[in-house]
């Protein structure tokens, strides 16, 4: 057993919120450069303690240990980026009007309630928490129950970095209690990364309480390979894009769409590479695919594979589960109406379909209620640039897998959610944009 934690009662959770609100009343007056120095210190501690932190992630949700270390490093990078740039992001914006002086200032909202998932136990927290703290807010974190140790570790390393004890704190509660906590008068904004169902519940509770909310939900992202693509590069990226983090990522390459002219060449290389993926103990440095985070996720994935095959898809590689392990899998012949095409698959299953024209590829990419992102592979970027506006997604990556970057806004459309994290937009997600006007 990795750890055992007692769930808080609702009054105990409300008490945590009140303590964070009390700390935030002082924190908002701490000079921004002092806050930035604390975030710099946090980046250093993340790097120093990576060997202690990464096994916690791997132990709680099965991420291969090398990818856990990479996640910790990415959090440190985010800390460095925002610490270096936040003063310019929060600088009041002067606006030329008929006033003697007018500008927009950016001030904290108060306490931000973050409801976070298990698949990136540190990264998902850091990408909202750091800009929220730097802009003068306090943070209450409700993490997924199977990564409670990660949540408490984040609180610990913030204290080690010099942050006030209660400017960020953790509530250990069920999802049902989260909606009730949103109504707390000291919660001023909410952010959720999670499922569509959780997004609907949280958005409803936030709307009822008239509080701003950012939702980053699922994705069924298209990975499009055109007939003029560099095939070996596309195959390499398809492996990473679909199978990293055991395939448990909202931005994974869920639907691989191949031009019929390169289908055979791509599939020969792709199938061989998938068969060679190392599956096993996630603490083994050579492991690329570890166990799924929970047993029920294996059952859900097996059901999607079975229903897709029953609808006419061809099982090329894998398709087997044992315990919490699911073998890297390829399904071909994927079309609309099949589970693997219409639903989000959250595990190491690559669903492959084909197209004949660029217009058809765009249509297939958009044939989903999700709208997180698209990857397109071509050696003729001038050809694809005019088409980018026809994708409904929040991001289009050309000759690259989808990825989150502290310098760029991240978020989706449709049932992938709304609002943005990261970049300038994420930095200002939880601020009061105050108009100031001197007649």
* Axis crossing angle, helix 196-208 with helix 175-182, rounded to the nearest 10: 20
Catalytic residue among 216, 343, 344, 421: 216
The Cα 89–Cα 210 span in angstroms is 26
Non-local (6+) Cβ contacts of 176 within 8 A are none
- Catalytic residue check, 250: yes
The Cα 21–Cα 39 span in angstroms is 20
Q: How many CB atoms lie within 10 A of CB 12?
A: 13
Catalytic residue among 36, 75, 79, 250: 250
The Cα 412–Cα 410 span in angstroms is 7
The Cα 119–Cα 60 span in angstroms is 10
Q: Which of 87, 76, 192 minimizes the C-alpha distance to 140? A: 192
The Cα 64–Cα 155 span in angstroms is 23
Q: How many CB atoms lie within 10 A of CB 300?
A: 16
The Cα 433–Cα 6 span in angstroms is 39
Residues classed as catalytic:
216, 250
């Amino acid at each position: 057993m990795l750890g055992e934690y007692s769930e808080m009662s609702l009054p105990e959770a409300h008490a945590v919120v009140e303590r964070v609100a009390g700390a935030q009343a002082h924190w908002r007056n701490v000079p921004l450069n002092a806050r930035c120095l604390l975030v710099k210190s946090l980046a250093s501690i993340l790097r120093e303690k990576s060997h202690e932190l990464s096994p916690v992630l791997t132990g709680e949700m099965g991420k291969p240990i090398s990818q856990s270390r990479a996640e910790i490093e990415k959090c440190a990078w985010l800390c460095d980026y925002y610490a270096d740039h936040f003063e310019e992001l929060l600088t009041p914006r002067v606006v030329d009007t008929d006033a003697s002086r007018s500008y927009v200032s950016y001030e904290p909202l108060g306490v931000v309630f973050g409801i976070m998932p298990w698949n990136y136990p540190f990264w998902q927290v850091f990408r909202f928490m750091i800009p929220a703290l730097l802009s003068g807010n306090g943070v209450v974190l409700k993490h997924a129950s199977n990564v409670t140790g990660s949540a408490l570790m984040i609180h610990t390393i913030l204290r080690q970095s010099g942050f006030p004890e209660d400017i960020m704190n953790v509530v250990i509660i069920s999802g049902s209690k989260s909606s009730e906590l949103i109504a707390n008068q000291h919660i001023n904004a909410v952010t959720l990364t999670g499922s569509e169902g959780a997004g609907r519940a949280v958005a409803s509770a936030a709307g009822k309480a008239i509080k701003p909310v950012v939702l980053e939900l699922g994705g069924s992202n298209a990975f499009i390979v055109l007939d003029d693509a560099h095939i070996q590069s596309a195959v390499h990226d398809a492996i990473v894009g679909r199978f990293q983090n055991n395939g448990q990522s909202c931005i994974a390459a869920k639907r691989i769409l191949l031009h019929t002219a390169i289908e055979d060449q791509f599939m020969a290389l792709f199938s061989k590479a998938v068969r060679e993926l190392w599956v096993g103990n996630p603490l083994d440095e050579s492991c690329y695919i570890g166990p799924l985070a929970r047993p029920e996720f294996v059952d859900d994935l097996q059901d999607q594979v079975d229903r897709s095959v029953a609808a006419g898809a061809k099982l090329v590689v894998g398709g087997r589960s044992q315990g919490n392990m699911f073998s890297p899998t390829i399904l071909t012949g994927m079309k609309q109406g099949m589970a693997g095409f219409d639903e989000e698959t959250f595990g190491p299953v690559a669903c492959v379909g084909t197209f004949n024209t660029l217009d058809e590829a765009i249509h297939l990419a958009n044939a989903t209620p999700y709208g997180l992102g698209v990857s397109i592979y071509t050696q003729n970027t001038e050809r694809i640039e005019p088409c980018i506006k026809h994708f409904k997604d929040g991001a289009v990556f050309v000759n690259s897998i989808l990825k989150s970057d502290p310098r760029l806004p991240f978020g989706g459309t449709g049932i992938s959610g709304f609002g943005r994290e990261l970049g300038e937009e994420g930095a200002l997600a939880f601020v009061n944009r105050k108009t100031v006007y001197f007649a």
